[in-house]
Structure 1
């Protein structure tokens, strides 16, 4: 079986994902809580409603900021 991957960069680290994966699928695979993060895709903040409409290309850059509550 010949599977094609994209190499993207998440918080500066190389990550291989299937070519047809959406940003939402990658975040779920990495076990992020979608309601507790801010995601930047190639220097643009992505609204949570756009995660499943954003598909990744080779060398895309993803930055993920986790929101932590507390006192």
Structure 2
């Protein structure tokens, strides 16, 4: 897999062949974008940049969803 990249999402290891953005990744996993915080390589990533950042080899992505309760 010469063009494949591996990355970590919430501690799980994934491989991709295609060039995808953080926004595409979030949509693929069907996250509710209004209720999450995304950490990209140990930094909180602003939502306005999600469609500009492409996942690279060995990137670490953490997604935390916000859950309401009562």
Name structure 1 gaps, 5 residues minimum.
none
Rounded Cα–Cα distance in structure 2 between residues aligned with 1:10 and 1:3? 21
- How far is the alpha carbon of 1:70 from its aligned partner? 1.6
Alignment root-mean-square deviation, CA: 1.6
Deviates more, 1:11-20 or 1:56-65: 11-20
Rounded Cα–Cα distance in structure 1 between residues aligned with 2:17 and 2:51? 15
1:11-50: CA deviation from partner (whole Å, max 9, x where unpaired): 1100122441001101100111111110000001011111
- Does the residue aligned with 1:24 lie in a helix, a strand or coil? helix
In the TM superposition, structure 1's runs of 4+ consecutive aligned residues that sit over 6 Å from their partners are none
Name structure 2 gaps, 5 residues minimum.
none
Q: How many residues align?
A: 70
TM-score, normalisation: structure 1: 0.88
In structure 2, the residue matched to 1:7 is: 6
TM-score, normalisation: structure 2: 0.89
In structure 1, the residue matched to 2:54 is: 55
In structure 2, the residue matched to 1:70 is: 69
